[in-house]
Amino acid sequence: MKNLIKIISNRAIIIGLLILLQLGLLFAIIVRFEEYFVYFYTIYIIVSAAVIIKIINNRSNPAYKIAWIIPIMLIPIFGTVIYLVFGRIHFTKEDKQMMSIIQEKEKAANLKTVGTKEIDDGNLDAIIQSNYLSQYGEGALFQNTTSKYFPLGDSAFKAMLEELEKAEKYIFMEYFIVEEGKMWNAILDVLERKAKEGLDVRFIYDDFGCLTTLPHHYYRKLENMGIKCCVFNPFIPVLSPIFNNRDHRKITVIDGKVAFTGGINLADEYINEVERFGHWKDNSIMLKGEAAWGFTLLFLSLWEFVYKDNDDQLADFYPEFNKEELSLSEGYYQPYVDSPFDSETVGINVYLNLINRAKKYVYITTPYLIIDNLLMEALCTAAKGGVDVRIIVPHKP
């Protein structure tokens, strides 16, 4: 009986039932007025034609267009309704203006960055990529940074705990999935202790990503510990185009001097403490030096947008490095972001640019492999031109 009550009271179950109820209500309305079917169908044809024309004329990926045009044409009425609800992201004029202001503040706060004109290694391909990211990815170029690559979440987790313990001023973390267990509980212990010591500790998690992994209003627990917390796009069971706007970023910033990013969320499956789909291989990277400031700004920009009531002065978070804390790096680092506020597909464009400019090899490892036509053509063209193309997709034996 207790298990049944637990299942029935589960937030994900309740939200799913409410969405199904809304869809059922919509269907009931259509059936109720079936005597006016001719009028409904005429309106549907007009609206569907307008939607299809809009889809065809936008600059999105052809695979995305086909994926929506087919259900619109095959499922009368519902195909168009589903697209209008889930197929686009709508922001208010106020949200767009607010993000524009935040981005301008972010650009102004990018201190001690490197301009591409200062790059003296003659790598024109890298300069072109960097110019693109500077213009469309909110990405400033940094030097004086060292990095360490972690091929598994297991080792990244250990390094993350070590660096969190060294925090002196602030800790900022932003993740899509958080689940109570060995990984998150160990990190939370450090965050709570650091918050009690007077550090500025902030956390952002995506509500949809944590729908089945965290209790409702979990942010209140964190705030009671002294941790400032924002929930990105709280999931409301009302049919809305804002459903698709999710925060998939994985960022940890410590004092603006150390940053972690990659594909690892804060759940035990990512450190192979539990097994869901076999041995999980995801990766992470740790940056030490000036490039960590780029991730600090990315976090604070989203924090200001989500938190709203915020009076942060970005310069207050800028780190002062001791001489021994900075190592002259051979390369350059450029944190960047892909924003839903424009029509620029920065993420895929960066990968396509890398593949199209490859000279010797392209090695890809990912736990998720969904290749669309653009990426397939780029990889095949590179391979046909003599580039060594290899893809590793871990799977359960």
Q: Does a structural domain hold residue 48? A: yes
Q: Are residues 77 and 97 in the same domain?
A: no
- Token pair recorded at residue 200: 């500025």
Q: Is pLDDT at 33 greater than 70 in this prediction? A: no
Q: Who wins on pLDDT, 71 or 267?
A: 267
Instruction: Provide the mean pLDDT of the chain.
Output: 84
pLDDT at res. 98: 83
Q: Is pLDDT at 30 greater than 70 in this prediction? A: no
Q: Does a structural domain hold residue 291? A: yes
Q: Is the dihedral of CA 308, 190, 286, 371 positive or negative?
A: negative
**At CA 285, angle to CA 282 and CA 286, rounded to 5?**
145
Among residues 67, 86, 105, the one where a domain terminates is: 86
Q: Are residues 81 and 136 in the same domain?
A: no
Q: What CATH number should be reported for the domain holding residue 148?
A: 3.30.870.10
Q: Are residues 184 and 199 in the same domain?
A: yes
Q: Does a structural domain hold residue 208? A: yes
50-94 pLDDT, tens per residue?
888 888 887 777 777 888 888 887 776 677 777 777 776 667 788
- Residues 353/327, Cβ–Cβ less than 8 Å: no
Q: Are residues 234 and 177 in the same domain?
A: yes
Distances (CA, A) of 320 to 281, 316, 324: 35, 11, 12
Gap between the Cα atoms of 395 and 281, Å rounded: 9
C-beta neighbour count of 11 within 10 angstroms:
17
Q: Are residues 243 and 371 in the same domain?
A: no
Q: Is pLDDT at 2 greater than 60 in this prediction? A: no
Q: Does a structural domain hold residue 331? A: no
Phi/psi-derived region of residue 158, left when phi > 0, alpha when psi is between -120 and 50, beta in every other case: alpha
| Confidence (pTM) | 0.85
Q: Does a structural domain hold residue 339? A: no
Q: Does a structural domain hold residue 158? A: yes
Residue reference for tokens 């669309």: 372
Q: Does a structural domain hold residue 58? A: yes
287-345 pLDDT, tens per residue?
999 999 999 999 999 999 888 767 788 888 999 888 777 777 778 899 999 988 887 88
Q: Are residues 113 and 198 in the same domain?
A: yes
Percent of the chain with pLDDT over 90: 43
- Residues 179/213, Cβ–Cβ less than 8 Å: yes
Roughly what angle, to the nearest 10 degrees, separates helices 124-136 and 346-356? 170
pLDDT at res. 195: 97
Q: Is pLDDT at 117 greater than 70 in this prediction? A: no
Q: Are residues 105 and 217 in the same domain?
A: yes
Q: Are residues 140 and 45 in the same domain?
A: no
Q: Does a structural domain hold residue 272? A: yes
As to burial, measured by CB atoms within 10 angstroms (0-12 exposed, 13-18 middle, 19+ buried), residue 306 is middle
Q: Are residues 101 and 211 in the same domain?
A: yes
pLDDT at res. 116: 57
Q: Are residues 12 and 126 in the same domain?
A: no
pLDDT at res. 113: 64
Q: Are residues 271 and 186 in the same domain?
A: yes
Q: What is the mean pLDDT of residues 360-370?
A: 89
The total domain count for the chain is 3
| Range with lowest mean pLDDT among 62-76, 143-157, 336-350, 376-390 | 62-76
Domain carrying residue 182: 93-325
pLDDT at res. 73: 79
| Range with lowest mean pLDDT among 26-40, 45-59, 119-133, 213-227 | 26-40
Q: Are residues 283 and 356 in the same domain?
A: no
Q: Is the dihedral of CA 16, 17, 18, 22 positive or negative?
A: positive
Gap between the Cα atoms of 293 and 299, Å rounded: 10
Q: What is the mean pLDDT of residues 218-237?
A: 90
Gap between the Cα atoms of 307 and 322, Å rounded: 32
pLDDT at res. 284: 95
pLDDT at res. 259: 97
Q: What is the mean pLDDT of residues 204-224?
A: 91
